[in-house]
Structure 1
Amino acid sequence: MKLYTRFRNELEKRKLWEVFIYLFFGGLTTVVNFIAFFIARDLLHLSLVPSNTISWLAAVLFAFVTNKIWVFHSRTETAGELAVEFGKFIFYRLLSYAIDMGMMLLLVNIVHLNDFWAKMITQIFVVVANYLFSKLFIFKGRTETNVNGVKDEKR
Protein backbone atom coordinates (compact mmCIF):
# COMPACT_ATOMS: atom_id res chain seq x y z
CA MET A 1 0.00 0.00 0.00
CA LYS A 2 2.93 2.33 0.61
CA LEU A 3 4.05 1.97 -2.98
CA TYR A 4 0.55 2.85 -4.21
CA THR A 5 0.38 5.88 -1.92
CA ARG A 6 3.79 7.14 -3.03
CA PHE A 7 2.90 6.56 -6.68
CA ARG A 8 -0.42 8.39 -6.35
CA ASN A 9 1.09 11.27 -4.34
CA GLU A 10 3.78 11.73 -6.98
CA LEU A 11 1.25 11.80 -9.79
CA GLU A 12 -1.00 14.17 -7.83
CA LYS A 13 1.92 16.56 -7.31
CA ARG A 14 2.38 16.61 -11.05
CA LYS A 15 -1.39 16.89 -11.59
CA LEU A 16 -1.35 13.61 -13.54
CA TRP A 17 -3.36 11.32 -11.27
CA GLU A 18 -6.69 11.98 -13.00
CA VAL A 19 -5.16 11.32 -16.41
CA PHE A 20 -3.52 8.12 -15.15
CA ILE A 21 -6.67 6.73 -13.54
CA TYR A 22 -8.72 7.73 -16.61
CA LEU A 23 -6.28 5.87 -18.86
CA PHE A 24 -6.39 2.85 -16.54
CA PHE A 25 -10.18 2.66 -16.66
CA GLY A 26 -10.11 3.72 -20.32
CA GLY A 27 -7.92 0.68 -20.95
CA LEU A 28 -10.45 -1.54 -19.19
CA THR A 29 -13.25 0.09 -21.18
CA THR A 30 -11.31 -0.66 -24.36
CA VAL A 31 -11.03 -4.30 -23.28
CA VAL A 32 -14.81 -4.40 -22.74
CA ASN A 33 -15.26 -2.80 -26.18
CA PHE A 34 -12.95 -5.32 -27.89
CA ILE A 35 -14.44 -8.36 -26.19
CA ALA A 36 -18.00 -7.31 -27.02
CA PHE A 37 -17.02 -6.44 -30.61
CA PHE A 38 -15.34 -9.77 -31.33
CA ILE A 39 -18.05 -11.78 -29.58
CA ALA A 40 -20.65 -10.08 -31.78
CA ARG A 41 -18.48 -10.28 -34.92
CA ASP A 42 -16.89 -13.71 -34.61
CA LEU A 43 -19.21 -15.74 -32.37
CA LEU A 44 -22.58 -14.26 -33.32
CA HIS A 45 -21.47 -13.58 -36.92
CA LEU A 46 -22.95 -10.09 -36.98
CA SER A 47 -21.75 -7.57 -39.53
CA LEU A 48 -19.48 -4.62 -38.75
CA VAL A 49 -22.13 -2.02 -37.83
CA PRO A 50 -24.17 -4.13 -35.35
CA SER A 51 -20.98 -5.54 -33.82
CA ASN A 52 -19.52 -2.09 -33.35
CA THR A 53 -22.83 -0.81 -31.93
CA ILE A 54 -23.04 -3.62 -29.36
CA SER A 55 -19.43 -3.06 -28.33
CA TRP A 56 -20.09 0.68 -28.00
CA LEU A 57 -23.13 0.11 -25.75
CA ALA A 58 -21.21 -2.24 -23.45
CA ALA A 59 -18.27 0.15 -23.25
CA VAL A 60 -20.47 3.20 -22.56
CA LEU A 61 -22.25 1.56 -19.64
CA PHE A 62 -18.96 0.36 -18.16
CA ALA A 63 -17.31 3.75 -18.69
CA PHE A 64 -20.14 5.73 -17.09
CA VAL A 65 -19.87 3.80 -13.85
CA THR A 66 -16.07 3.85 -13.69
CA ASN A 67 -15.77 7.51 -14.71
CA LYS A 68 -18.45 8.64 -12.28
CA ILE A 69 -17.13 6.74 -9.29
CA TRP A 70 -13.37 6.34 -9.66
CA VAL A 71 -12.10 8.88 -12.18
CA PHE A 72 -14.08 12.08 -11.68
CA HIS A 73 -15.61 11.29 -8.24
CA SER A 74 -18.90 12.78 -9.30
CA ARG A 75 -21.61 12.98 -6.69
CA THR A 76 -25.23 13.49 -7.64
CA GLU A 77 -27.76 14.07 -4.90
CA THR A 78 -31.00 13.49 -6.79
CA ALA A 79 -32.26 11.17 -9.47
CA GLY A 80 -32.73 14.23 -11.67
CA GLU A 81 -29.06 15.22 -11.34
CA LEU A 82 -28.04 11.64 -12.15
CA ALA A 83 -30.34 11.63 -15.20
CA VAL A 84 -28.88 14.92 -16.47
CA GLU A 85 -25.33 13.65 -15.96
CA PHE A 86 -26.12 10.36 -17.69
CA GLY A 87 -27.87 12.22 -20.51
CA LYS A 88 -24.78 14.38 -21.08
CA PHE A 89 -22.62 11.27 -20.94
CA ILE A 90 -24.75 9.54 -23.59
CA PHE A 91 -24.83 12.66 -25.79
CA TYR A 92 -21.04 13.01 -25.83
CA ARG A 93 -20.54 9.27 -26.20
CA LEU A 94 -22.79 9.43 -29.26
CA LEU A 95 -20.38 11.98 -30.69
CA SER A 96 -17.46 9.66 -30.01
CA TYR A 97 -19.51 6.78 -31.44
CA ALA A 98 -19.75 8.76 -34.68
CA ILE A 99 -15.95 9.12 -34.62
CA ASP A 100 -15.61 5.40 -33.87
CA MET A 101 -18.03 4.26 -36.57
CA GLY A 102 -16.72 6.67 -39.19
CA MET A 103 -13.14 5.62 -38.59
CA MET A 104 -14.03 1.90 -38.54
CA LEU A 105 -15.88 2.16 -41.85
CA LEU A 106 -13.05 4.19 -43.38
CA LEU A 107 -10.27 1.93 -42.14
CA VAL A 108 -12.01 -1.39 -42.87
CA ASN A 109 -13.92 -0.64 -46.08
CA ILE A 110 -11.69 1.92 -47.79
CA VAL A 111 -8.18 1.45 -46.37
CA HIS A 112 -8.78 -2.35 -46.12
CA LEU A 113 -7.21 -2.63 -42.68
CA ASN A 114 -8.26 -5.70 -40.72
CA ASP A 115 -10.82 -5.32 -37.90
CA PHE A 116 -8.28 -5.64 -35.09
CA TRP A 117 -5.93 -2.88 -36.25
CA ALA A 118 -8.79 -0.63 -37.28
CA LYS A 119 -10.29 -1.02 -33.81
CA MET A 120 -6.92 -0.32 -32.15
CA ILE A 121 -6.35 2.88 -34.11
CA THR A 122 -9.93 4.02 -33.64
CA GLN A 123 -9.82 3.52 -29.88
CA ILE A 124 -6.89 5.92 -29.47
CA PHE A 125 -8.95 8.75 -30.95
CA VAL A 126 -12.06 7.74 -29.02
CA VAL A 127 -10.27 7.61 -25.64
CA VAL A 128 -8.81 11.10 -26.11
CA ALA A 129 -12.16 12.55 -27.25
CA ASN A 130 -14.02 10.88 -24.36
CA TYR A 131 -11.58 12.21 -21.76
CA LEU A 132 -11.97 15.75 -23.05
CA PHE A 133 -15.76 15.46 -23.21
CA SER A 134 -15.93 14.02 -19.67
CA LYS A 135 -13.56 16.53 -18.12
CA LEU A 136 -14.91 19.62 -19.85
CA PHE A 137 -18.63 18.96 -20.22
CA ILE A 138 -19.96 16.02 -18.17
CA PHE A 139 -18.39 15.53 -14.73
CA LYS A 140 -17.95 19.12 -13.58
CA GLY A 141 -17.80 20.76 -10.17
CA ARG A 142 -16.82 17.84 -8.04
CA THR A 143 -14.93 17.60 -4.78
CA GLU A 144 -12.22 15.00 -4.53
CA THR A 145 -10.51 13.63 -1.44
CA ASN A 146 -6.82 13.05 -2.02
CA VAL A 147 -4.72 10.25 -0.48
CA ASN A 148 -4.09 12.34 2.66
CA GLY A 149 -7.82 12.78 3.28
CA VAL A 150 -7.82 16.45 2.26
CA LYS A 151 -10.80 17.73 0.26
CA ASP A 152 -9.69 19.25 -3.03
CA GLU A 153 -12.23 21.35 -4.90
CA LYS A 154 -12.02 20.60 -8.61
CA ARG A 155 -13.04 23.21 -11.22
Structure 2
Amino acid sequence: MEILEKRVRMMRILRLLTNKEIILYLVFGVLTTLVNFGVYFFLKSFLEMDMLLANSFAWIFSVLFAYLTNRRWVFDSNVSGITAVSFELIKFVFYRGLSFVIDMLSMLLLIEFLNWKDFYAKLITQVIVVVANFLFSKWLIFKN
Protein backbone atom coordinates (compact mmCIF):
# COMPACT_ATOMS: atom_id res chain seq x y z
CA MET A 1 0.00 0.00 0.00
CA GLU A 2 2.85 2.38 0.81
CA ILE A 3 4.33 1.94 -2.67
CA LEU A 4 0.98 2.76 -4.25
CA GLU A 5 0.66 5.92 -2.13
CA LYS A 6 4.16 7.04 -3.15
CA ARG A 7 3.34 6.42 -6.79
CA VAL A 8 0.12 8.42 -6.56
CA ARG A 9 1.98 11.26 -4.84
CA MET A 10 4.69 11.23 -7.54
CA MET A 11 2.04 11.29 -10.28
CA ARG A 12 0.40 14.33 -8.68
CA ILE A 13 3.74 16.13 -8.51
CA LEU A 14 4.54 15.19 -12.13
CA ARG A 15 1.11 16.39 -13.28
CA LEU A 16 1.64 19.66 -11.44
CA LEU A 17 5.08 20.17 -12.99
CA THR A 18 3.79 19.47 -16.49
CA ASN A 19 0.77 21.73 -16.12
CA LYS A 20 0.60 23.99 -19.20
CA GLU A 21 -0.18 27.08 -17.13
CA ILE A 22 2.83 26.59 -14.86
CA ILE A 23 5.19 25.85 -17.75
CA LEU A 24 4.05 28.96 -19.63
CA TYR A 25 4.31 31.02 -16.44
CA LEU A 26 7.93 29.92 -16.00
CA VAL A 27 8.81 30.48 -19.68
CA PHE A 28 7.38 34.00 -19.68
CA GLY A 29 8.98 34.61 -16.28
CA VAL A 30 12.39 33.93 -17.82
CA LEU A 31 11.54 36.23 -20.73
CA THR A 32 10.38 38.91 -18.28
CA THR A 33 13.71 38.65 -16.51
CA LEU A 34 15.51 39.07 -19.85
CA VAL A 35 13.40 42.17 -20.59
CA ASN A 36 14.33 43.57 -17.18
CA PHE A 37 18.06 42.93 -17.69
CA GLY A 38 17.98 44.14 -21.30
CA VAL A 39 16.24 47.43 -20.52
CA TYR A 40 18.43 48.04 -17.47
CA PHE A 41 21.74 47.44 -19.24
CA PHE A 42 20.67 49.32 -22.38
CA LEU A 43 19.68 52.39 -20.37
CA LYS A 44 22.67 52.16 -18.01
CA SER A 45 25.39 51.30 -20.55
CA PHE A 46 24.31 52.94 -23.79
CA LEU A 47 22.32 55.92 -22.56
CA GLU A 48 24.43 56.31 -19.38
CA MET A 49 21.31 56.68 -17.26
CA ASP A 50 21.52 56.73 -13.47
CA MET A 51 21.35 53.22 -11.97
CA LEU A 52 18.20 53.84 -9.92
CA LEU A 53 16.37 55.45 -12.82
CA ALA A 54 17.46 52.69 -15.22
CA ASN A 55 16.34 50.04 -12.71
CA SER A 56 12.99 51.78 -12.27
CA PHE A 57 12.37 51.82 -16.02
CA ALA A 58 13.50 48.18 -16.24
CA TRP A 59 10.96 47.24 -13.54
CA ILE A 60 8.17 49.14 -15.31
CA PHE A 61 8.90 47.56 -18.71
CA SER A 62 9.25 44.07 -17.24
CA VAL A 63 6.00 44.36 -15.27
CA LEU A 64 4.15 45.55 -18.39
CA PHE A 65 5.68 42.70 -20.42
CA ALA A 66 4.71 40.22 -17.69
CA TYR A 67 1.16 41.59 -17.58
CA LEU A 68 0.67 41.31 -21.33
CA THR A 69 2.12 37.82 -21.61
CA ASN A 70 0.43 36.50 -18.46
CA ARG A 71 -2.88 38.00 -19.50
CA ARG A 72 -2.82 36.55 -23.00
CA TRP A 73 -0.86 33.30 -22.95
CA VAL A 74 -0.63 32.09 -19.35
CA PHE A 75 -3.99 32.83 -17.73
CA ASP A 76 -6.01 33.51 -20.90
CA SER A 77 -7.87 36.48 -19.44
CA ASN A 78 -11.19 37.22 -21.11
CA VAL A 79 -11.65 40.62 -19.46
CA SER A 80 -12.55 43.27 -22.02
CA GLY A 81 -13.36 46.96 -22.04
CA ILE A 82 -11.04 49.78 -21.06
CA THR A 83 -12.30 49.97 -17.46
CA ALA A 84 -12.05 46.24 -16.77
CA VAL A 85 -8.63 45.87 -18.43
CA SER A 86 -7.35 48.96 -16.57
CA PHE A 87 -8.56 47.53 -13.26
CA GLU A 88 -6.88 44.20 -14.07
CA LEU A 89 -3.61 46.01 -14.89
CA ILE A 90 -3.81 48.06 -11.68
CA LYS A 91 -4.29 44.85 -9.66
CA PHE A 92 -1.34 43.26 -11.48
CA VAL A 93 0.96 46.23 -10.74
CA PHE A 94 -0.25 46.37 -7.13
CA TYR A 95 0.48 42.69 -6.49
CA ARG A 96 3.86 42.90 -8.26
CA GLY A 97 4.63 45.84 -5.96
CA LEU A 98 3.55 43.71 -3.00
CA SER A 99 5.82 40.89 -4.12
CA PHE A 100 8.66 43.42 -4.34
CA VAL A 101 8.01 44.32 -0.69
CA ILE A 102 7.97 40.60 0.19
CA ASP A 103 11.28 40.25 -1.68
CA MET A 104 12.91 43.14 0.18
CA LEU A 105 11.63 42.09 3.61
CA SER A 106 12.68 38.49 3.05
CA MET A 107 16.17 39.58 1.99
CA LEU A 108 16.43 41.85 5.01
CA LEU A 109 15.31 39.09 7.38
CA LEU A 110 17.53 36.39 5.91
CA ILE A 111 20.69 38.48 5.49
CA GLU A 112 20.58 41.04 8.29
CA PHE A 113 18.87 39.07 11.04
CA LEU A 114 19.64 35.42 10.24
CA ASN A 115 23.10 36.09 8.73
CA TRP A 116 22.54 34.06 5.56
CA LYS A 117 24.86 34.56 2.61
CA ASP A 118 23.18 36.82 0.07
CA PHE A 119 23.26 34.21 -2.73
CA TYR A 120 21.22 31.71 -0.69
CA ALA A 121 18.92 34.42 0.63
CA LYS A 122 18.25 35.66 -2.92
CA LEU A 123 17.66 32.11 -4.15
CA ILE A 124 15.08 31.36 -1.43
CA THR A 125 13.50 34.79 -1.78
CA GLN A 126 13.06 34.38 -5.53
CA VAL A 127 11.29 31.05 -5.04
CA ILE A 128 8.93 32.74 -2.58
CA VAL A 129 8.34 35.66 -4.98
CA VAL A 130 7.71 33.44 -8.02
CA VAL A 131 5.19 31.34 -6.07
CA ALA A 132 3.54 34.46 -4.62
CA ASN A 133 3.29 36.11 -8.06
CA PHE A 134 1.77 32.96 -9.54
CA LEU A 135 -0.81 32.69 -6.75
CA PHE A 136 -1.62 36.41 -6.90
CA SER A 137 -2.12 36.13 -10.65
CA LYS A 138 -4.13 32.92 -10.55
CA TRP A 139 -6.40 33.71 -7.61
CA LEU A 140 -6.60 37.51 -7.40
CA ILE A 141 -5.85 39.05 -10.81
CA PHE A 142 -6.78 36.73 -13.69
CA LYS A 143 -9.54 34.75 -11.98
CA ASN A 144 -11.83 34.05 -14.93
Q: Give the TM-score normalised by structure 1.
A: 0.63
- Flag the structure with larger Rg: 2
**1:94 paired to 2:97:** yes
Distance (whole Å) between structure 1 residues aligned to residue 45 and residue 103 of structure 2: 19
**1:127 paired to 2:127:** no
Root-mean-square deviation (Å): 3.3
Aligned to 2:15: 14
Count of aligned positions:
124
Distance (whole Å) between structure 2 residues aligned to residue 112 and residue 46 of structure 1: 28
Aligned to 1:38: 41
The answer to which structure has the higher helix fraction is 2
**1:70 paired to 2:73:** yes
Q: Give the TM-score normalised by structure 2.
A: 0.67
Q: CA deviation at 1:137?
A: 0.7
Structure 1: which 5+ runs fail to align? 1-12, 142-155
Letter in 2 for 1:46: D
Q: 1:42 to 1:128 in 2, by over 3 A?
A: farther
